Structure 1
Amino acid sequence: MRAVLQQSFGGPEVLQVVETERPKPLSGEVLVRVRASALNPVDVAVRSGAFPLLGEPPFGVGWDISGEVVEAGPGARYAVGEEVYGMPFFPRAATGYAEYVAAPSRQLARKPTSVDHVHAAALPLAALTAWQGLVDLAEVGEGQRVLVHRAAGGVGHLAVQIAKARGAHVIAIASESRSAFLRGLGADQLIDYRSADFTEVLRDHPVDVVFDSTAQGDRSLQVLRPGGVLVSILEHGDRELIERVQAAGRVFAGVSVEPDYASLEAIAALVDAGRIRPFVQQTFDLADADKAHELLETGHVQGKIVLTV
């Protein structure tokens, strides 16, 4: 099979398409013929060595996949022919940029029926990050005010929709050029980070939950009401920040995303109900994974980038 591997840390050019052995599913696992695999910022950080999550190369990055089951091990939850999606093995290697991935069946869910594989692949890591932060940890509910940083990005645009689906009033931080996009996703208010300071805008209107994917924990703390929840992706292990949040009478909720088929099923149900719409800015062929990484590294991607396999 074809897979994208790297032999060293470095720029996008280290990503190479190679021929390698097709994996075999073990008990409880399925072999997925991957049709699409999405990129996430963590892929770039791991590839470059900035975040050596997988140790030293060689390895393959990529976790988000959507495809169909072509082989099922004993005791697997899915049968041959079923369409599934998920984020297997994270934070261990999944080598998701590949034609085939063998994965534990309980780390996958049935693909939403209303979207194609490209849009299904755009969901798992980003949507699970938002879901585990907003639903599992912050327990966002009806009428709460939720602030979402980097709201037009891969995680952010799904966080906006998940919070809205839970009945929240959603305040989105992004550039003014993303205003129509975010309002179309359900955002109630937009703060243009280029022309306004969100701490000033919300000084007299504190929020119940901040979803922070920008490592601005201390600034986000300034706009949280007493008892409010700071959901943090990048600072989940910062003990000093956690202590400051707790000392201020607020709640810290650090997110380190993990595979979860039950949440993927709930997300798929919202997609099929029209409550969540994953946005894909651009697709690339598997052979052009390096070009896809170049685009992701610009830091100005709206929604997701997906590889077709």
Structure 2
Amino acid sequence: MKAAFIKQTGSFKEIQIGDLPIPKTKADEVLVRVIAVSVNYVDTFVRGGGFKTEMKFPFVIGRDAVGEVVDTNNGFVKGQLVWTNSMGYDGRTGTTSEFVAIPKDRLFVAPKVDPIKLVASVHSSATAAIILRDIFQINKGKKILIEGGAGHVGRKLVELANLAGLVVSTTSNQKDFAKLAQLGSKNCFDYQQSTAKIADKFDYIIDTSGKVSLQTNLDKLNLFGQIGLITAPKDNNFNFNVRQMYTQSQSIKGFVISHASLSQIQTSAKLLNQYFAQGKLLDEEILSLPITQAQHAHELMEQHVKAKLVLTVN
């Protein structure tokens, strides 16, 4: 089968396109013929060796995939459209290949939607869903500020937070105000203006850009407020008033989806499928490339291309 793989970690130039054996499924796995995979920043970290995880070479890259069931074991039906978003790390093979064997408990039947739009959404949508429901454990009616709301994860946070009944505020470029308002942002603030100038305070704040100081966000938290970190400033340093934080019973919570539990992955998948079936969370601007351009896709990702990158396999 055709696959995109590496024989050692390193730059995007390490990615090779070649033939590998079709995987043999274990008792708890389902063989899937891959249609497309998305490319995420974390894929470049795994490939480059920055994200330390178990891998066996040649290592097939990629974690998200949409495809069709080949066999009929483990409760799945041949030809079913399915998706996954937790492969390609922690000892599991990647997905950028014509066929992949996926553990049944990490495989989800897809609703009848465009498979390319679905696979472009799952990484950002699952990240947002787990942050809101499991990390923050949000309560309806509370206020959330999403900084960098126009990015991939930012837009999913806006849409899901609004659907969950939160009062949503965002920071972004002014050109994105209309789109964010459409997704559910009640208040849109120009990201070029300091968050410190926002008059309101919030129960939850998440900075998707890594450009706002931790102390500035702490100053904008209500009693018992929470800050979510999914990135960090380039200098990777924080200074903040510890006494202020603990006397206000505030908390700072970090999250990366690679450390999400299986139950979190499964619960978020159920929620995402409900919304996918309603046509929600499928608004990504997509740049689709063939699997043979996997190197180029990783290069573009490292250049921070704005479109969501998808590699088509079949």
Is 1:50 matched with 2:50? yes
Is 1:27 matched with 2:27? yes
Alpha-carbon distance in 2 for matches of 1:293, 1:7: 16
Is 1:291 matched with 2:296? yes
Alpha-carbon distance in 1 for matches of 2:125, 2:37: 14
SS in 2 for 1:188: strand
Q: What is the aligned partner in structure 2 of residue 38 from structure 1?
A: 38
Equivalent residues of 1:127, 1:267 under 8 A apart: yes
Worse overlay, 60-69 or 5-14: 5-14
Structure 1: where are the runs of 5+ without partners?
none
Q: What is the aligned partner in structure 1 of residue 137 from structure 2?
A: 139
CA root-mean-square deviation: 2.6
Q: CA deviation at 1:104?
A: 1.1
Equivalent residues of 1:9, 1:57 under 8 A apart: no
Alpha-carbon distance in 1 for matches of 2:209, 2:305: 14
Pairing of 1:80-159 with structure 2 (within 5 A): 80-89=78-87, 91-92=89-90, 93-113=92-112, 115-159=113-157
Alpha-carbon distance in 1 for matches of 2:159, 2:82: 22
Alpha-carbon distance in 2 for matches of 1:246, 1:61: 42
SS in 2 for 1:71: coil
Q: What is the aligned partner in structure 2 of residue 230 from structure 1?
A: 227
Alpha-carbon distance in 2 for matches of 1:42, 1:174: 23
Identity of matched residues, %: 26
Worse overlay, 292-301 or 98-107: 292-301
Deviations 1:114-143 (A, max 9, x none): x21111112332222111110122232432
Q: What is the aligned partner in structure 1 of residue 311 from structure 2?
A: 307
Structure 2: where are the runs of 5+ without partners?
none
Number of residue pairs the alignment of both structures matches? 299
Q: What is the aligned partner in structure 2 of residue 276 from structure 1?
A: 281
Alpha-carbon distance in 2 for matches of 1:67, 1:56: 23
**TM-score, with structure 1 as normaliser:** 0.86
Amino acid at match of 2:123: L
Q: CA deviation at 1:58?
A: 4.3
Deviations 1:30-49 (A, max 9, x none): 11111110111101122223
Equivalent residues of 2:146, 2:170 under 8 A apart: yes
**TM-score, with structure 2 as normaliser:** 0.85
Worse overlay, 174-183 or 37-46: 174-183
Amino acid at match of 1:307: L
Q: CA deviation at 1:65?
A: 0.7
Amino acid at match of 1:31: L
Is 1:206 matched with 2:201? yes
Q: What is the aligned partner in structure 2 of residue 10 from structure 1?
A: 10
Is 1:171 matched with 2:169? yes
Q: CA deviation at 1:243?
A: 10
